[in-house]
Amino acid sequence: MSAILPPASPVWWKQPLDRVEATWILLAFAWCLVMFFMMPYWHIFGKQNLSNEAYRTSPEMFAKKAQAMVDQSTVRTETAEKVPVVHPPAGSDVYLIARLWQWWPILELEKGKSYRLHLTSMDYQHGFSLQPENINLQVLPGYEMVVTVTPNREGSYAIVCNEFCGIGHHKMVSKLYVK
Ligand code: CUA
């Protein structure tokens, strides 16, 4: 067959399956199944994929809850934009807003205490990546992602946005403190 000339037989695709072709189809299919079952496997036995919950929300609803936490638990402000640093009560619900191009507010958590971390975006898709921990979450507008976190090491962590979100994407960095 040639790519330029029309095929000699009009039903050129209806030929018996070649053994080599069948072997490759089987190999590819088997590998698909391996990868498919690795997804639940890594979720249970791996350390990166978190069991998170997702709920519908709106920017207004979420901002209200975040603002209430900021009003109650702000201990200081940081950076030129005066981002509030919040030290919420141990074990409480904490809220983090992603927006062009900022994380708001800065959270200060206590070591060994569990928190319900709520995340949403006010505009487009962002990515929550906690460094140097290997934690990644997609942050989507209209959805409230909730994940239970228990910080096990004191220090200052970096939050970077890992979904390209426009011209200020590279500046969308923040901190998370554990005391
Ligand atoms: Cu937000 Cu990239």
> Are residues 125 and 139 in contact, defined by beta-carbon separation less than 8 angstroms?
yes
Cα(105)–Cα(125) distance, integer angstroms: 18
pLDDT at res. 48: 65
161 lines ligand 1 (CB under 6 A): yes
The pLDDT averaged over each successive group of 10 residues in the chain (179 residues) is 77 86 97 95 80 90 94 87 90 94 94 94 95 89 93 94 95 94
pLDDT at res. 50: 76
* Helix/strand/coil percentages in the chain, nearest 5: 25, 35, 40
Helices (H) and strands (E) in the chain, counts: 2, 12
Q: What are phi and psi of 94, to 5 degrees?
A: -120, 150
**Which atom in ligand 1 lies closest to the alpha carbon of residue 121?**
1
166 lines ligand 1 (CB under 6 A): no
Give the predicted TM-score (pTM) of the model. Answer: 0.75
